[in-house]
């Protein structure tokens, strides 16, 4: 009897966990359709175009995955500290610092080592720089009680200023005229594509990072300690958990994921570091994290969805004569609705566990 | 400018930049200050600023009246504020996350509707010329003060008085410091926060109007460059005190003009690093004044909690 109660509980709850976010996306689609109709575009045509550009066919999927991989990595920068109860929004800064770390290693190693080692070095450089960046926020939180949301936001701007300074002066390639950039890394050291596709290896980095993060949080004692500290800091301290160390390590890991995203952008997409590093994958990642309710595996899915929306920007302009900001409106609507839907859990009677009398007990007559 | 004045161009450039650049900061930070005093944070003011800049520019262009544009910007801000206020107060909805979604939504709406207005030039707000005593055109140009600056200053003092000496100000502070106690007093936490966020967004919208109708006085998609988010840092820098928001806005506005002013006399080095001065300063002040043993003085008690 106990077991059946659990079973019943779980399927209704699982159904709720699927229906509510899907419903939220549908409502966002309807509102967006009304918006399109008001500005004079055929909503169904627009839906069709977004679907086709994002998920219609292999080449669309490839574009979607290319957009999704930095989002997966950058989302983890918010996901991991959230398990400790911290709200980190320094993804953009960690990504930028990671890109700088990667380019620094890539340029200084040049072609002195085999490409694979240089790539590993760039990844390490990116992770180290990004990790330290967020670990600063974690350490300030623990030792000085500085609000981590604000400090990580400030660190974003400091990192961006640092990037602009370096690419505008000390690290500038004089031949980059329109868009100041660093010197490019050697062609041979660039992160290639997964064989048979046009998707770079960054996607694998993203997927592996999400899986590792999931295992780390859900299946290890370290993750258990982190979740305990996130639930109640005082209780964790009394239980003898090293809360300070946990905070800094988790923040370092979080930042290193975003830093790796920066490395992927540098080593696979641009080949140089410039202001293209700072195009919003950081802020996109924060949203992915919240929409995925800080679950690393769900983050990979949500990042793919957002990647698809981002990939459909161009086509709306070409075939519907809508400004490219249309995608921003759509993205904003989807996220607002999904965030709102969080408050709906437990409000629908259908998804609640039923109070039924066990069959072997007859009601009192 | 610099050729005629030599090194005097640097302080003059900074003064001019301080007066010009501080106006949007002043309005956004006052809006954020009011919002945060009620215990919620609104990161979405970046989107509000952009929407305000776009709508004021569009209205000014279409009607020929910049002041109508300023009012329109405020109203557009209120609409976004209403969404944020309602959404961020639903159970289990995080105000930081809603704020970031509102940045995306607000800037999306602003870029979408503002696309046709990038090219045309709209009538600008008049300025108050305090520099007419001087023969130098540079001095005259530097001391063109926007009436919005005077208005913002008045609002800062008014808000200080409001928090300190009025019943409604007490309500806002009570809701921000201890919602449970406020509820016990019979105050509707929801309504007070809703009104605070909407009025705060109204002010942020006017800050946007200052961008597009005063300085730099154009409408482009990069016009705000993160000033709405910076306001959050600025309010902390100002310790949630409206008068100090005024000083902090002047400081942040001045720091932004440091790079361009030095560039005008041929010093290029560190142009971007000077842009980062306000953030480093805010972070340094937070590190010095925060302590694990107590909250920041002036910080609303419920800020950053789920209460």
pLDDT in tens, B13-51: 888 889 888 999 999 999 999 999 999 999 999 999 999
Residue B104 C-alpha, separation from nearest chain A C-alpha, in angstroms: 5
Q: What is the mean pLDDT of residues A303-332?
A: 88
Q: What residues contact A246, with CB distance under 8 A and at least 6 apart?
A: A84, A225, A226, A229
The answer as to whether B305 is a domain residue is no
Q: Is B128 helix (H, G, I), strand (E, B) or coil?
A: strand
Chain B residues within an 8 Å CB radius of A157: 226, 229-230, 276, 279
Residue B194 maps to a domain: yes
A168/B271 touch (CB, cutoff 8 Å), yes or no: yes
Q: How far is A339 from chain B (nearest CA, A)?
A: 6
- The parent domain of residue B135 ranges over 2-289
Task: Give the distance from residue A288's alpha carbon to the nearest chain B alpha carbon, in angstroms.
Answer: 10
Determine the average pLDDT of the residues in B228-248: 90
Give the number of domains in chain B: 1
Q: Which helix (H) or strand (E) holds B145?
A: strand B144-145
Q: Kindly list the distances between the CA atom of residue B138 and the CA atoms of A32, B3, B9, B238, in Å, as whole numbers in the listed order.
A: 50, 11, 9, 32
The CA distance from B129 to the nearest CA of chain A, in Å, is: 34
Q: What is the mean pLDDT of chain A?
A: 89
Name chain B contacts of A325, Cβ cutoff 8 Å.
Answer: 107-112, 115
Give the percent of chain B with pLDDT over 70: 98
Contact state of B102 with A336 under an 8 Å Cβ cutoff: yes
Contact A149 B96 (CB under 8 A): yes
Nearest-Cα residue of chain A relative to residue B292: A145
Interacting residues of B148 by C-beta distance below 8 A, sequence separation 6+: B23, B27, B70, B125, B206, B209, B210, B214
B129 in a structural domain: yes
B304 inside domain: no
- Chain B interface test: which of A79, A325, A341, A343 (most B C-beta within 10 Å): A325
Taking each helix axis from N to C terminus, what angle separates A243-264 and A115-144, rounded to the nearest 10 degrees?
Answer: 140
Least confidently predicted of A142-146, A251-255, A273-277, B257-261:
B257-261
B237 pLDDT exceeds 60? yes
Task: Give the residue among A138, A153, A122, A88 at the shortest CA–CA distance from A270.
Answer: A122
Note whether B103 contacts A283, CB cutoff 8 Å.
Answer: yes
Whether B96 and A89 lie within 8 Å, measured CB to CB: yes
Give the gap in angstroms from C-alpha B278 to the nearest C-alpha of chain A.
9
- Does pLDDT of A355 surpass 70? no
B168 pLDDT tier (thresholds 50, 70, 90) = very high
Q: Which residue of A has its CA nearest to B90?
A: A343
pLDDT digits (tens, 9 = 90+) for A203-218: 999 999 999 999 999 9
Q: Which of B272, B275, B277 is the best mutation test for A, with the most CBs of A within 10 A? A: B272
The model's pLDDT over A151-200, given as tens digits with 9 standing for 90+, comes to 998 999 899 999 999 998 888 888 888 888 999 999 999 998 999 899 99
Residue B211 lies inside a defined structural domain of this protein: yes
Beta strands B128-129 and B144-145, pairing class = antiparallel
pLDDT at A21 (0 to 100): 86
What pLDDT was estimated at residue B42? 94
Does the pLDDT of residue A244 top 80, yes or no? yes
| Consecutive H or E run containing B14 | helix B9-37
- A325–B111: do the CB atoms touch at under 8 Å? yes
Q: What is the CATH number of the domain that holds B219?
A: 1.10.3470
Instruction: In whole angstroms, give the CA distance from residue A134 to residue A282.
Output: 13
Write down the H helix ranges in B38-123: 45-63, 66-87, 95-114
Buried b (16+ CB within 10 A) or exposed e, A167-198: bbeebeeeeeeeebbbbbbbeebbbeeeeeee
CATH architecture of A58-311: Orthogonal Bundle (1.10)
- Closest Cα to residue B39, out of B175, B228, B187? B175
* Cβ–Cβ gap B283/A168 under 8 Å: no
Judge whether residue A365 has pLDDT over 80: no
Percentage, residues of chain B above pLDDT 90: 59
Helices A43-55 and A2-38 pack at an angle, to 10 degrees, of: 120
In this complex, do B101 and A332 lie within 8 Å of one another by their Cβ atoms?
A: yes
Question: pLDDT band for position A70 (50/70/90)?
Answer: very high
Distance CA A177, CA A255 (A): 32
Does residue B140 lie in a domain region?
A: yes
For A162, name the nearest residue in chain B, comparing CA atoms only: B273
The answer to whether the Cβ–Cβ distance between B290 and A146 falls below 8 Å is yes
- A-chain CB neighbours of B87 within 8 Å are 336, 339-340
């Amino acid at each position: 009897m106990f077991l059946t109660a659990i079973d019943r509980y779980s399927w209704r709850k699982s159904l709720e966990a699927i229906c509510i976010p899907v419903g939220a996306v549908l409502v966002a689609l309807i509102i967006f359709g009304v918006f399109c109709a008001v500005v004079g575009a055929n909503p169904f045509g627009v839906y069709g175009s977004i679907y086709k550009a994002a998920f219609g066919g292999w080449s669309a999927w490839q574009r979607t995955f290319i957009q999704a991989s930095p989002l997966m990595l950058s989302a983890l920068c918010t996901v991991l500290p959230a398990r400790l109860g911290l709200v980190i929004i320094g993804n953009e800064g960690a990504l930028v610092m990671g890109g700088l770390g990667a380019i620094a290693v890539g340029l200084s190693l040049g072609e002195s080592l085999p490409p694979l080692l240089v790539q590993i070095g760039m990844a390490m450089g990116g992770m180290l720089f990004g990790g330290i960046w967020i670990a600063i926020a974690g350490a300030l939180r623990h030792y000085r009680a500085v609000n981590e949301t604000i400090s990580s936001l400030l660190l974003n701007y400091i990192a961006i200023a640092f990037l602009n300074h370096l690419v505008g002066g000390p690290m500038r390639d004089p031949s980059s005229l329109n868009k100041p950039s660093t010197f490019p890394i050697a062609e041979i050291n660039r992160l290639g594509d997964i064989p048979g596709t046009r998707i770079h290896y960054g996607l694998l980095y993203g997927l592996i990072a999400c899986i590792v993060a999931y295992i780390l949080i859900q299946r290890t004692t370290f993750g258990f300690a982190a979740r305990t500290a996130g639930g109640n800091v005082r209780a964790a301290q009394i239980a003898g958990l090293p809360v300070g160390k946990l905070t800094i390590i988790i923040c370092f890991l979080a930042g290193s994921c975003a830093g790796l995203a920066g490395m992927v952008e540098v080593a696979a997409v641009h080949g140089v570091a410039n202001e293209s590093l700072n195009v919003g994958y950081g802020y996109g990642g924060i949203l992915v994290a919240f929409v995925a309710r800080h679950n690393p595996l769900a983050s990979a899915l949500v990042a793919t969805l957002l990647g698809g929306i981002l990939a459909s920007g161009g086509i709306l302009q070409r075939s519907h004569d809508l400004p490219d900001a249309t995608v921003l409106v759509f993205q904003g609507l989807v996220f607002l609705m999904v965030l709102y839907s969080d408050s709906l859990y437990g409000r629908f009677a259908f998804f609640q566990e039923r109070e039924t009398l066990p069959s072997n007990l007859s009601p009192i007559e | 400018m610099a050729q005629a004045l030599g090194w005097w161009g640097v302080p003059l450039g900074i003064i001019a930049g301080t007066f010009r650049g501080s106006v949007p900061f002043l309005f956004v930070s006052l809006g954020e200050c009011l919002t945060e005093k009620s215990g919620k944070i609104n990161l979405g003011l970046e989107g509000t600023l952009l929407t305000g800049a776009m709508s004021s520019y569009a209205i000014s262009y279409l009607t020929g009246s910049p002041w109508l544009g300023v009012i329109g910007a405020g109203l557009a801000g209120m609409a976004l504020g209403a969404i944020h206020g309602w959404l961020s107060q639903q159970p289990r909805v995080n105000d930081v996350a809603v704020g970031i979604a509102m940045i995306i939504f607000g800037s999306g709406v602003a870029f979408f509707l503002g696309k046709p207005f990038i090219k045309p030039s709209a009538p600008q707000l008049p300025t108050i010329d305090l520099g007419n005593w001087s023969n130098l055109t540079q001095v005259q140009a530097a001391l063109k003060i926007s009436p919005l600056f005077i208005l913002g200053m008045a609002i800062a003092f008014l808000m200080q008085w409001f928090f300190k000496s009025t019943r409604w100000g007490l309500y806002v502070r009570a809701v921000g410091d201890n919602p449970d106690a406020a509820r016990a007093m019979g105050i509707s936490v929801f309504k007070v926060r809703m009104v605070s966020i909407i009025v705060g967004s109204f002010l942020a919208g006017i800050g946007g109007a200052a961008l597009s109708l005063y300085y730099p006085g154009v409408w482009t998609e990069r016009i705000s460059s993160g000033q709405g988010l910076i306001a959050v840092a600025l309010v902390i820098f100002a310790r949630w005190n409206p008068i100090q928001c005024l000083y902090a806005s002047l400081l942040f506005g001045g720091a932004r003009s440091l790079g361009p002013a030095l560039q005008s006399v041929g010093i290029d080095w560190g142009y971007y690093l000077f842009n980062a001065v306000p953030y480093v300063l805010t972070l340094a002040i937070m590190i010095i004044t925060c302590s694990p043993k107590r909250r920041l003085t002036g910080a609303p008690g419920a800020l950053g909690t789920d209460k």
